[in-house]
Structure 1
Amino acid sequence: MHFGLTEEQQMIQDTVRAFVENELYPHEAEIERTGHLDMDVIKDIQQKAMEAGLYAANMPEEVGGAGLDTLTWLMYEKELGRTNYALHWTGVARPSNILLAGTDEQKEKYLYPCMKGETWDCLAMTEPDAGSDLRGMKATARQDGDDWILNGTKHFISHADIAGFAIVFMATGEEDTPRGKKKLITAFFVDKGTPGFTVREGYCNVSHRGYTNQVLEFDDCRLPASAVLGEVHKGFQVANDWLGATRLQVAATCLGRAERALQHSIDYCAERKQFGQQIGKFQGVSFKLADMATELKAAELLTWNGGWKFEQGTVTESDMSMAKLKATEALAMIADEAIQIHGGMGLMDELPLERIWRDARVERIWEGTSEIQRHIISREMLRPVGA
Structure 2
Amino acid sequence: MDFGLSEEQRLIVETTRAFVENELYPHEAEVERTGVLRKELADELKQKAIASGLYAANMPESVGGAGLDTVTWLLYEKELGRANYALHWSCVGRPSNILLAGTDAQKEKYLYPCIRGEKSDCLAMTEPGAGSDLRGMKATAVEKGGDWVINGTKHFISHALEADFVILFVASGEEDTPRGKKKKITAFFVDKGHPGMTIREGYRNVSHRGYTNAIIEFDDCRLPADAILGEVHKGFEVANTWLGATRLQVAATCLGRAERALGHAIEYAAQRQQFGQQIGKFQGVSFKLADMATELKAADLLTFEAGWKFDQGTVTDQDMAMAKLKATEMLAFVADEAIQIHGGMGLMDDLPLERIWRDARVERIWEGTSEIQRHIISRALLRPHGA
Same fold (TM over 0.5): yes
Q: In 1, Cα distance between the equivalents of 2:48 and 2:312?
A: 33
Q: In 2, are the aligned partners of 1:101 and 1:230 still within 8 Å (CA)?
A: yes
The equivalent of 1:137 in structure 2 is 137
Distance 1:158 1:244 in 2: 18
Alpha-carbon shift at residue 145 of structure 1 (Å): 1.5
**Corresponding position of 1:99:** 99
Q: Give me the CA root mean square deviation.
A: 0.5
Alignment of 1:1-387 (within 5 A): 1-387=1-387
Separation in 2, partners of 1:74, 1:134: 27
Q: Is the partner of 2:172 in helix, strand or coil? A: strand
Secondary structure of the residue that 1:357 maps to in structure 2?
A: helix
Q: Which AA in structure 1 matches 2:47?
A: Q
- In terms of mean alpha carbon deviation, does 350-359 or 111-120 score higher? 111-120
Amino acid at match of 2:80: L
Q: Which runs of 4+ in 1 moved over 6 A?
A: none
Shift of residue 174, structure 1, vs aligned partner: 0.4
SS at match of 1:122: strand
Secondary structure in 1 aligned to 2:327? helix
Report how far residue 116 of structure 1 moved.
1.2
Report SS of the residue matched to 1:195: coil
User: Secondary structure at the residue paired with 1:298?
Assistant: helix
Given that 1:119 and 1:162 are in contact with CA atoms closer than 8 Å, whether structure 2 keeps it comes out as no
Distance 1:2 1:55 in 2: 27
Q: Could you give the per-residue CA deviations for residues 109-148 of structure 1, whole angstroms, max 9, x where no partner exists?
A: 1111111111210000000000010000000000001100
Measure how far apart 1:176 and its partner are.
0.6
Deviation at 1:150, TM superposition (A): 0.1
CA contact (8 A) 1:130 1:137 kept: yes
Q: CA deviation at 1:2?
A: 2.0
Q: How many residues align?
A: 387
Letter in 1 for 2:371: E
User: Which 5+ residue runs of structure 1 have no aligned equivalent?
Assistant: none
Question: Structure 1 residue 374: deviation in Å?
Answer: 0.2
1:345-371 deviation line (CA, Å, top 9, x unaligned)? 000000000000000000000000000
Any idea what SS the aligned residue of 1:222 has?
A: strand
In 2: Cα distance, 1:2 partner to 1:93 partner: 29
Equivalent AA in structure 2 for residue 344 of structure 1: G
Q: Distance in 1 between matches of 2:204 and 2:136?
A: 25
Shift of 1:62: 1.1
Distance 1:7 1:178 in 2: 53
- Matched position secondary structure for 2:310: helix
- In 1, Cα distance between the equivalents of 2:130 and 2:71? 32
Query: What SS does structure 2 have at the residue aligned with 1:170?
Result: strand
CA distance in 1: counterparts of 2:208 and 2:118, whole angstroms: 23
Question: CA deviation digits over 1:283-339, x for unaligned, max 9?
Answer: 100000000000000000000000000011100000000000000000000000000
Measured in 2, the distance between the counterparts of 1:11 and 1:164 equals 33
Residues 213-272 of structure 1, C-alpha deviation per residue, up to 9 Å, x if partnerless? 000000000000000000000000000001010000000000000000000000001110
CA offsets per residue over residues 20-72 of structure 1, 9 Å max, x none? 00000000000011000011111111111111110000000111100000000
Q: Which moved more, 1:92-101 or 1:2-11?
A: 2-11
Query: Could you tell me how far apart the structure 2 residues matched to 1:78 and 1:359 are?
Result: 15
Amino acid at match of 1:250: V
Deviations 1:190-214 (A, max 9, x none): 0111110000010000000000000
Contact kept, 8 Å, 1:197 with 1:217, in 2: the verdict is yes
Give CA-to-partner distance per residue, 1:154-187, whole Å, 9 cap, x none. Answer: 0000000010100000100000111111000000
Identity %: 79
C-alpha contact 1:322 1:373 (8 A) present in aligned 2: yes
CA distance in 1, matches of 2:2, 2:317: 23
